[in-house]
Structure 1
Amino acid sequence: MKYYLSVLAGAMSYGILSTIVVLAYGQGYQLGEVVGTQLITGFILSWMLALYTRFRAKRKAQAAGGQAKVASASPSQVFTRLTWKQRLMLMAAGTPTVITGLVYYQSLRYIPASLAIILLFQFTWISVLIQAISKRQRPDKITFLTLFILFGGTLLAAGFLEQGISKLSGLGIALGLMAAVSYSLFVLFSGKAVPSGHPAFRSAWMVTGGLILLCILFPPTFLFNGLIWSQLLIFGLLLGFFGAFIPPVLFAIGVPHIGGDMAGILGAVELPVAVLLSSIVLHEHVSALQWFGVVIVLIGVALPELYKMRARRSRSTPVYSG
């Protein structure tokens, strides 16, 4: 049960981010300052975790090897050192997270947080589309059914049927969908980038790559003009903690024990958490019809994973003949 709760808590952490960003905007902070403090916090915490993980593994190896091996033990014997080519690959794989954060957080200036998170969740079908194009393979029937459910749920959850799309910001919607595309690329690239590397170091190098890109796009002047010591530091710590640190750690703990399929289902809790917080904290109006749409989107996210689990169980169930 603790592994299920671990993944659930990690996904809920992601759902908190949009509310924190909107509150930071309300205090007058800009996009580069918000994302910059988040990534700097995530950078520091990720490398602290990576170095601690290496230190702990080294101590265990020394204890298991006996006192005769203590002197000869080294971190490289505990972890396979990444080459600079692998490090650069991981840094490149981490750059889509920056693009996702920038366009997603910018969309919050034009559309409600409850709508922004729904648009971000379109990465589910966008990922399927990208894979189908890259592999030149037509999606199966369950995928088409899932896309149909997601499309219908999105229309309801976004309020398009009640308000009409003309009343919503076209730029905000475009930014939200761009965030979904960028996140889809991150999901695809991150899984293929040095899968043999230790998760803690993979995460740390990806955050490093994202931070370098962000510093190029938005030079971190807030580090030198004293702005970092204002409320911006609090927002940055919260965003870095709940966005760049806690979810990867909790997922690393829980996913290996419950499997990727169940993790995908539990990860969808990010959506209702974000919508609920936007309603309670930001006082955004979310109608009953929109909540119904959220439920439909969650069903659409969970459907293909449930179908895979059922197919595996049917294959593993022995068939007895009389």
Structure 2
Amino acid sequence: MKVWVYVLCVFLGGCSFGVLSTFVKLAYESGFNMFEVTGSQFIIGTIIIWILTLFVHKQKLSFSQMAKLLLGGTPMGLTGIFYYFSLETLDASLAIIFLFQFIWIGAIVEWMLFKNKPSTKKISSIIIVLLGSIFAADIFTSGEKTIDMAGIVWGILAALSYSLFLLISSLVEKEVPTLQRSALLSTGAMIIVLVITNPLSWMGAHTLIDIFPYGILLGLFGVVIPPILFSIGMPQIGPGAGSILTASELPVAVLLSMIVLSEQVIWIQWVGVFIILFGIVLGNVSFVSNKIKRQHLISK
């Protein structure tokens, strides 16, 4: 498979996560709380991905392999909980800024664990992406914002858990078929979400029926699509480049807030979006070209 396909998979996985904030806000406006939104997302999403898994080849796994993948899904579930808590207590523009700290956290984690010191180009790319994030979130021109310390903590925790999820997606049991691997990661995420949200406190028939449309959308874009795409792409490109590529989340979030939520998106936010895209290209164009050259030499 061509290397640009792996890059595109991770990029689209980030785009999929960018859809979530819009649907979460719509669910909140409809009167649902974080426990109901997160719980329904992971229950429905995990059911969907297991149904898909029934129709593909599956590998026989040992208890150790299954345990690793189930535990590996924990950061995925925690990211949803932490980020949705942050959205309850912070303005959306601030919450996503804190979530976006995963970009430099991912690079530091890769450096600490694998001694892969970020190149000058990668550091420049991270700085550009973060700068673009600030403009895209419009924190300079939108007036005073209420900064809740609890919201900041939730946002940073979401960034940390998201970085860990990207790392695990690139390392754990890479030889397991994509759908089967994604289903086990999602199951692990669902388990930790249900433990924390306590479904007995909210899972009634009436609530499940009302929240089902949101659960389907959040399940698809938050549980089914990203793990599949990350399982394909992350093992090939690594968590460092992956952290930068998944910054595609923010441009998607800004665009959907304008189209679906009818929010005003001013010019400085679009400047931020293009800065982010430039940073993504800067950080990955040399990586992709080098991988293509290596693949070409191997094919010869």
Instruction: State the TM-score bracket (shorter-chain normalisation).
Output: 0.7 to 0.9
Of the three residues 235, 260, 264, the one matched with 1:281 is 260
SS of the counterpart of 2:55?
helix
- Residue in 1 aligned with 2:17? 14
Taking structure 1 as the reference length, the TM-score comes to: 0.77
Q: Is the 8 A contact 2:22 2:257 kept in 1?
A: yes
Pairwise CA distance, 1:272: 1.5
d(CA) in 1 for partners of 2:142 and 2:202?
42
Residue number in structure 2 paired with 1:241: 220
The corresponding residue for 2:64 is: 85
1:208 deviation in Å? 1.2
Q: CA 1:93–1:165 in 2, change beyond 3 Å: closer, same or farther? A: farther
- Quick one: structure 1 residues 224 and 287, their matched pair in 2 at CA, closer, same or farther if it must change by over 3 Å? closer
Query: Equivalent of 1:37, from 7, 22, 40?
Result: 40
Aligned in 2, Cα 1:138/1:8: closer, same or farther, shift over 3 Å? closer
The answer for the alignment partner of 1:98 in structure 2 is 77
Structure 1: state its 5+ residue gaps: 55-78
Structure number with greater Rg is 1
Q: What displacement does 1:10 show? A: 5.0
CA deviations 1:60-114 (Å, max 9, x no partner) are: xxxxxxxxxxxxxxxxxxx431101110100110000111000111122233435
Question: How far off is 1:283 after superposition?
Answer: 3.8
- Equivalences for 1:54-203 in 2 at 5 Å? 54=57, 79-136=58-115, 138-163=117-142, 167-203=146-182
Distance, in Å, in 1 between the alignment partners of 2:288 and 2:15 is 23
Task: Give the equivalent residue in structure 2 for 1:75.
Answer: none
1:119–1:284: structure 2 CA closer, same or farther, 3 Å change rule?
A: farther
The CA distance in 2 between the partners of 1:143 and 1:250, in whole Å, is 23
Give % identity: 39
Q: Which one of 42, 50, 55 corresponds to residue 52 of structure 1?
A: 55
Return closer, same or farther for 1:204/1:224 CA change in 2, 3 Å cut-off.
same
Q: Extract unaligned runs of 5+ from structure 2.
A: none
Q: Secondary structure at the match of 1:24?
A: helix
Read off the aligned partner of 1:141 and give its amino acid letter: T
Query: CA offsets, 1:198-229, max 9 Å, x none?
Result: 11111111111111112211221267532344
Q: Does the CA-based 8 Å contact 2:103-2:243 persist in structure 1?
A: no
Per the alignment, in what secondary structure is the counterpart of residue 160 of structure 1? Answer: coil
Please report how far the alpha carbon of residue 249 of structure 1 lies from its aligned counterpart in structure 2 after TM superposition: 4.5
Instruction: Report which stretch shifted further, 188-197 or 257-266.
Output: 257-266
Shift of the 83–28 alpha-carbon distance from structure 1 to 2, 3 Å rule, reads same
Structure 2 SS opposite 1:108: helix
Give RMSD over aligned pairs: 3.5
Write out per-residue CA displacement over residues 8-40 of structure 1, whole angstroms, 9 at most, x where no aligned residue: 765543322111111111122121111111111
With 291-300 and 135-144 compared, the bigger mean Cα shift is at 135-144
